[in-house]
Structure 1
Amino acid sequence: MKSKNGFLILKSIIKPEVLKQMGKLTEKEATLLMNSYGIKCDVKLVKEWLNEGKFKGNETDGIYTIEESAVYDFLELLRWEGTAHEPGIDDQTKLSRLLEEVNDYRQRVKKLEEEKSELERQLQDLLGTVPF
């Protein structure tokens, strides 16, 4: 059986008590996982996110554990935040963000065309002919 985050779980081999602990992260481990994906956060911020309900955790004897899949789900939401693909945004916001993206790409294309022209000019100066 394949779980949501891609780990293969062989239920027939793993003891139930071990299986129950698989995929659970401490606040520190969740922080390190997010850091490895380029999310700048510390344990304090992870605790804030837990308190805000950004992802779910369980507290036992003052120690939180967080489902690894919940962290991956949160990372996926962060990935799309602020883009036209952010879940839950209205159509007007989505359209506005898409138009911004189109304008950004047009500016990039224009800059690349200018760079290409300059490089062609430099090549022409070096070779003494028009290469294209």
Structure 2
Amino acid sequence: MEIGGIHHVKLPVSDVARSRTWYERVLGFEQAIEFVEDGEVRGVALRHAGCAPQLALRHDPARAAALSGFDALALLVPSRDAVQAWKTALDQAGEPHGGVVTGHHGGSVLVGLHDPDGIEIRLYAE
């Protein structure tokens, strides 16, 4: 039996609109699909050029609070220089993060970037 990759990753959020705006503004994602239930936006699917899996955000405040502080998502960037470029761009945008550290296999990892619910997003290069 085969698995061909990851289709999407879903994160819980307390406020879909606020989180969508953050992922678009800070990380450059764009909305692909909006999920409306009972007349209310309850989730979105986001995509990013060059990134095969999509990122889904789903309204679920309790689970979002439970994940606060946890590094649930590591986004692969093409090089260590790209990690440094992200650090510079985040610094210029005034977006707080924990800096760049060396990963377990010697790569570069930008840590301490938190979405509006406090879920840590890492940017990683081998």
**Shared fold (TM-score greater than 0.5)?**
no
Q: Which has the higher contact order (CA 8 A, sep 6+)?
A: 2
Higher strand share: 2
Instruction: Give the greater-gyration-radius structure (CA).
Output: 1
TM-score per shorter chain, which class?
A: under 0.3
